[in-house]
Amino acid sequence: MSSLELHDEPLAGVKVFASRVVGDERGFFARTSDTDVFRAAGIDPAAFVQESQSRSVKRVLRGLHGRDVLQEAKLVRVAHGAIHEVIVDLRPWSPTFLRTATLRLDDREHLQVYVPPGCVHGYQALTDVADVCYRMDAVYAPDRTLYLAYDDPELAIEWPLPDPIVSDRDRAAPTLAELRPRLADFFGATAPPDTCTSASSMGVIA
């Protein structure tokens, strides 16, 4: 049995990995990366070019963010604390177009999620401190960042904690109705060649 396994695919191309945690009175051990497991899931580990860490205090809400071109996949995990993670599929050609996946990422279960290009994601910190680590396969390009309102009325995302702490930039993000006419320009009206558009599960994991 591998110490890291593909656990679920709640949206097309969105992959959730689970670590087998070994712990005792001293602490724990969990593998967070495995080249063979990632390659078997269709992810090239060598493609990741940047890794970052973000710290948030309880109730902070970051998102929804992505890129306005079919680039920049992310592999997201939590090193300390817990977050409520949300992913929205904005690819017009995807079988899960405009579907939303939610899951809890924390330092106990050690799940991590691969967010493919064309999806936006965001999270709310559930603990006093939450450290989020993410690897990206494209160099950060702030001028290409795509913002989507975290409180969009059409998506009606249920964030778990009241009175979220949100940046002015995220509070001013456009709605889905405002972005929808441009999504085909951003991500194409049809799937790129060799793009897998299947999802093993169409549901939402909580």
pLDDT (tens digit, 0 to 9) for every residue of the chain, 206 residues total? 468 899 899 999 999 999 988 988 999 998 889 999 999 999 999 999 999 999 999 999 999 999 999 999 999 999 999 999 999 999 999 999 999 999 999 999 999 999 999 999 999 999 999 999 999 999 999 999 999 999 999 999 999 999 999 999 999 999 999 999 999 999 999 998 866 554 443 333 33
For residue 133, tell me if it sits in a domain: yes
**The whole model's pTM is what?**
0.91
CATH number reported for the structural domain that contains residue 93 in this entry:
2.60.120.10
Catalytic residue among 65, 84, 110, 121: 65
Catalytic entry in 110, 114, 121, 134: 134
| Residue 196, domain member (yes or no) | no
Q: Which two tokens stand for residue 62?
A: 């970051």
Q: Is residue 192 a part of any domain in this protein?
A: no
Give me the residue label for tokens 């929808």.
180
Q: What tokens does 159 get?
A: 């964030």
Q: Would you say residue 54 lies in a domain?
A: yes
Q: Establish whether 134 is a catalytic residue.
A: yes
Would 99 be classed as within a structural domain? yes
- Scan for tokens 């495995």, then name that residue: 34
Q: Is residue 59 part of a domain?
A: yes
Both tokens of residue 127?
Answer: 């603990």
Q: Which domain holds residue 14?
A: 4-187
- DSSP structural state of residue 138: S
Domain-embedded: residue 202? no
**pLDDT computed for residue 200 by the predictor:** 41
Compute φ and ψ for 110, nearest 5 degrees: 60, 40
User: Can you give the pLDDT at residue 3?
Assistant: 83
Q: What is the pLDDT of residue 169?
A: 97
**In angstroms, how far is CA 6 from the centroid of its own chain?**
15
Q: Is 65 a catalytic residue?
A: yes
Decide if 198 is inside a domain. no
Q: How many domains does the chain have?
A: 1
